[in-house]
Structure 1
Amino acid sequence: MELTPERCYDAFIAHDARFDGRVFVGVRSTGIYCRPVCKVRTPRRHMCDFFPSAAAAEAAGFRPCLRCRPELAPGLSAMDASATLAHAAASLIEAHLAEPLTVTILAARVGVSTRHLHRLFLERFGVAPAGYLRTRRLLLAKRLLTDTRLPVTEVALAVGFGSARALQSAFARHYRLTPSALRARPVRALEAGTLDFELAWRPPYDHVRLLAFLAGRTIDGVEQVEAGEYRRTVRVGEATGYLAVSPGPTALRVRVSASLARVVPAVLAGVRRLFDLDADPLAVGEALGALGRDRPGLRLPGAFDGMEMTVRAVLGQQVTIKAARTLAGRFAAVFGTPIDTPWPAVRTVFPSAAEIAELSVDAIASRGVIARRAQAIISLAGEVAAGRLTLSPGAPVDATVARLQAVPGIGPWTAHYVAMRALAWPDAFPEGDYGVRAALGMCTAAEARRQAEAWRPWRAYAVMHLWTRLGEENPS
């Protein structure tokens, strides 16, 4: 859908949540920019400027609205092939705000020149990569200052400013605020020792089906779905802890252990990936047509930890989902690390790639895993630990799929399944998948591929619809 100024203004008047995060409205009379869902008195059309990102609005001199809080808007998913690299770099920014990122580092990670990345960001987000990075850091800092009682110094370090003084200077320069000005309101705490956040989505959002998908594939000890709440242990770098996610009317409620405060950007980015919060149902629905009509809010489950999800996928090759859960839970119990959480059934941190790479084939095989799969898991972990393979959004898809298939024991199905979930690649398509072919009338892989051409660039969403359709037609 083309976002003309007239259409953007209509969405602003209607407070249309479908446009939340896709467009931001700068009001010239106040110098403030808002989300389309903002309930402030609507300004006249000639007083409004429209921007494709919060960063573009800030680059034009607008400051974020303290009422609708642009930092709470949903993110963006790739809407066409030309935007893919820009979104890959944006995903890296979201997950690594605390690190010393530069445009050169981002360009190298997505495999393009700095000049090309600069051009792609201007086309997609209306601002250069450096400006986008600065705005994401400022907005997350604003959120942490508003919603938590973390010390200003910890907030500064968590979002990559390096010091409280640097954060204060940036706030004064860009927002004309001091950090303390955002702490006038009391912060709601769910329990001692936790941080509480909300992550918005664009409607419609089928949380029930997504949670059911995750519930069927949880790793015992690491994850749990209980009473509509998703729980898991977390490892980000050297930090470990836990989180819980439950649905609200327009957003997910995320509770994070205070032990993860320094890595909050990576944790929230992981939740967004896992629950596919940045999807654009309008764009997906237009491409899928009749296939997606009955389930317009169906999402593509991602992966909080790409290595963990890939191990689970390898263990699940040619066995039932139940058997794969048993193997994955056994693997985590033996090779993972115990930690304390509020839940007796969630007490194990899945082993890191470096830890898995040090295991022997015999050690894994002794837990009921076929030796060939055990070797594949160790080989994959070694590639990830060495930095030769990245199993997260932002990795070059074709090269990653090829590298995965170069590992003995990893075939096209596993590689494309990993691309769907760990890389969050919306056009991944495991054409030989039995469920896909069965939902299409037991056609051949070639015929499945031919039919799927109409669903580009959202074929991975088509796969989810086909799997869901098959499951609902054959619930046993």
Structure 2
Amino acid sequence: MPAPPPSAAPPSALHDDAAYAALRTRDARFDGRLFVGVTSTGIYCRPVCRVRAPRRENCRFFGQAALAEAAGFRPCLRCRPELAPGLSLTDSSDVLAAQAARLLAAAVHGGEAGAPAAADAPATVPAVAARLGITDRHLRRIFQRAHGVTPIAWLTTQRLLLAKQLLTDTALPVTEVALASGFASVRRFNAAFAEHYRLQPGALRKQAADGAPAPLSPDRTAAEATLRLAWRPPYDLHGVLDFLRHRALPGIEQVDGLTVRRTLALPHHGQVLAGWLQARFEPARHELHLRVAPALLPAIAAVRERARQALDLDADPARIDAQLATLPVPARPGVRVPGGWCGFESAVRVILGQQVTVAAARTLTRRLVERFGTPLDTPFDSLDRLFPSAATLAAAAPEDIGTLGIVRQRVRALQALAQAVAEGRLHLHRAAPLDSTLATLASLPGIGDWSAQLIAMRALAWPDAWPATDIGILNALGHRDAKAGTAQAEAWRPWRAYAVMNLWLSLEATP
């Protein structure tokens, strides 16, 4: 019999009998929410592992990979726990602990303007506490209560699992894997890897190569890398691809069947890397195969995390869909909130979308890209430009932007936003603190609550964003009363952004 759907309780509270049922049926709904340690082998697995299910008495169940590793278990080389989808951070009842996890994740992955730089764990934890305005001791206490492990143990697990994926899926030298995983030195990386996994990084790479399947992308070059990223079913693939297709920018993005391609520039250790990526959905495997250009490989950890946010791979449909049962439109199982690959780009597109249709906003943004975007060579036809940087738009002459058909008020808003981002006064990524970011956005000319909520939804990945005056939302609700709509949306907290997507998609016809 299949395991019951996940409850609203945290993963660690799942009853062992239900956890074992999920393991025996390889229930992908529990992927990333449940890990199984096998005492007879010392290995821990995802519930979707294809090996024969172990005996019940040999199983120990954990809600996070860090808990399994803290108990002395090593990750399975077959099901690869590093591929599992992450946990939605609103799963934590402690807001500060959830925010700390975001900041620690940013320390591992880096690549976002304003995110903490990767550093060794002892230096990172006090920095995160200072960023949150609490003491180091208080951070450790609330983090242990919410996540079951110390911040250092959680951070070490994230770094090592990332390193394990890079060793398996890429040809990056061990030195670069260590740096990309947030370790300050190869020596510390080797020591941590040997202590936790009981073998050296090179030995793991050899084991993975010996049992590796055929390459995921036969046409890839040796310099490229293809990473596998999992999601929990159901996944509203049709809705996501339609949403992206209607908004794809020529020169920047392409949506071709199940494949999404785009260009991307991101900061990395004081320089800007620029290249292309290709994300192909594999519905039968509940996976995304992410192919990354050679130029972006040094920042592949950041690219991986941007893909997870942009395509909302970490959402937990069992928790979200149940909360949206009272929607006045047919609910889409596994609805996702597509985020942005670049927070600044997302914010610019929101501003250009003020009081115009999706098609009109796309036209204005296309003109901005053609005028101010940087040319880029890629192997894909018509994918040949980068989105303009904040510094570029901040320095542009207002009249040059105005000639594109963008009204003066929008030009002022665009340049105020660009100036704030370029100067480091505004950070647009999901590790940024919500309240202070919304306050900074509200202080900028031409950015009201509607724009700030959409920026929070797409750039900050805030799952409870609610742009109350959005005309599409009100049309889907069947009235034009924003106050009544906000009252109605109280029933959908803390997942109102997913209600927004359901309402929007109910109005969009497939071309």
Q: TM-score normalised to the size of structure 1?
A: 0.94
2:139 aligned with 1:117:
yes
Match 1:191 to one of 220, 232, 243 = 220
Q: Is 2:152 the partner of 1:130?
A: yes
Amino acid at match of 2:277: L
Q: 1:207 aligns with which of 213, 237, 247?
A: 237
CA distance in 1, matches of 2:92, 2:191: 38
Amino acid paired to 2:220:
E
Corresponding residue for residue 329 of structure 1: 366
Deviation string 1:171-228 (CA, Å, 9 cap, x unpaired) is 2111001122223325725411321111100000111210110111122211121233
Q: Percent identity?
A: 51
Q: CA deviation at 1:396?
A: 1.9
Corresponding position of 1:70: 81
Query: What is the identity, as a one-letter code, of the residue corresponding to 1:158?
Result: A
Q: State whether residues 321 and 333 of structure 2, in contact with CA within 8 Å, keep that contact through their aligned partners in structure 1.
A: yes
Match of 1:167 in 2: 189
SS of the aligned residue for 2:383 comes to: coil
Contact residue 170 and residue 224 of structure 2 kept, 8 A: no
1:112 CA displacement: 4.5
**2:136 aligned with 1:100:** no
State how far apart, in whole Å, the 2-side matches of 1:335 and 1:45 are: 61
Report SS of the residue matched to 1:240.
strand
| 1:26 paired residue among 15, 21, 37 | 37
Structure 1 range deviating more: 418-427 or 158-167: 158-167
CA distance in 2: counterparts of 1:112 and 1:273, whole angstroms: 27
Q: Which whole-Å CA distance do the structure 2 matches of 1:228 and 1:19 have between them?
A: 24
Shift of 1:79: 3.6
Question: Could you say if the C-alpha distance between residues 380 and 15 of structure 1 is closer, same or farther in structure 2, counting changes exceeding 3 Å?
Answer: same
The range that moved more, 259-268 or 226-235, is: 226-235
1:448-475 Cα shifts (integer Å, max 9, x gaps): 0111011110011011111112335xx7
Instruction: Give runs of aligned pairs for residues 153-302 of structure 1, distance below 5 A.
Output: 153-184=175-206, 185=209, 188=215, 190-192=219-221, 193-237=223-267, 238-248=272-282, 249=284, 250-291=286-327, 294-302=331-339
Tell me, in whole angstroms, the C-alpha distance in 2 between the residues paired with 1:108 and 1:363: 42
Contact 2:339-2:457 at 8 Å conserved across structures: yes
Q: Is the 8 A contact 2:454 2:465 kept in 1?
A: yes
Match of 1:145 in 2: 167
Aligned counterpart for 1:378 among listed residues 415, 422, 426: 415
5 Å matches for 1:442-453? 442-453=479-490
Cα distance in 1 between the residues matched to 2:403 and 2:258: 35
The secondary structure found in structure 1 opposite 2:188 is helix
Q: 1:206 to 1:191 in 2, by over 3 A?
A: same
| Contiguous gaps of at least 5 residues in structure 1 | none
Q: Could you tell me whether the CA contact under 8 Å between 1:240 and 1:259 is conserved in 2? A: yes
Q: Distance in 1 between matches of 2:99 and 2:249?
A: 28
Paired with 2:471 and 2:503, the residues of 1 have a C-alpha distance of: 11
Relative to structure 1, is the Cα distance of residues 86 and 345 closer, same or farther in structure 2, using a 3 angstrom cutoff? farther
Question: Residue 378 and residue 443 in structure 1: after superposition, are their counterparts in 2 closer, same or farther (change >3 A)?
Answer: closer
1:80 CA drift (Å): 4.7
Residues 417-470 of structure 1, C-alpha deviations (whole Å, 9 max, x = no match): 111111111111011111111111114111101110111100110111111123
Partner residue in 2 for 1:309:
346
Q: Distance in 2 between the 1:77 and 1:85 partners? A: 14
Alignment of 1:379-418 (within 5 A): 379-418=416-455
Instruction: Return the alpha-carbon distance in structure 2 between the equivalents of residues 92 and 72 of structure 1.
Output: 21
C-alpha contact 1:275 1:299 (8 A) present in aligned 2: yes
Label 1:359 to 1:86 Cα distance change in 2 as closer, same or farther (>3 A).
farther
Which amino acid in 2 is paired with 1:228? Answer: L
Number of corresponding residues: 474
- Native 8 Å contact 1:338 1:349 kept in 2: yes
Q: What is the CA deviation profile of residues 90-115 of structure 1, one whole-angstrom value per residue up to 9, with x for unaligned ones?
A: 33444442621601223344554433
1:429 equivalent among 455, 462, 466:
466
Give the SS at the match of 1:272: helix
2:35, 2:44 within 8 Å by CA — same for their partners in 1? yes
Secondary structure at the counterpart of residue 216 of structure 1: helix
Distance 1:379 1:72 in 2: 39
Conservation of the 8 A alpha-carbon contact between 2:168 and 2:205: yes
1:209-252 deviation line (CA, Å, top 9, x unaligned)? 10110111122211121233111111111111110111102101
Query: How far 1:376 sits from its partner (Å)?
Result: 1.1
Question: How far, CA to CA, are the matches of 2:331 and 2:473 in structure 1?
Answer: 17
**Structure 1 residues 297 and 183, CA, compared in 2 at 3 Å: closer, same or farther?**
same
Normalising by structure 2, report the TM-score. Answer: 0.88
Paired with 1:293 and 1:4, the residues of 2 have a C-alpha distance of 32
CA distance in 1, matches of 2:41, 2:92: 37
| Residues in 2 aligned to 1:358 and 1:255: alpha-carbon distance in whole angstroms | 33
Deviations 1:239-266 (A, max 9, x none): 1111011110210111001111111111
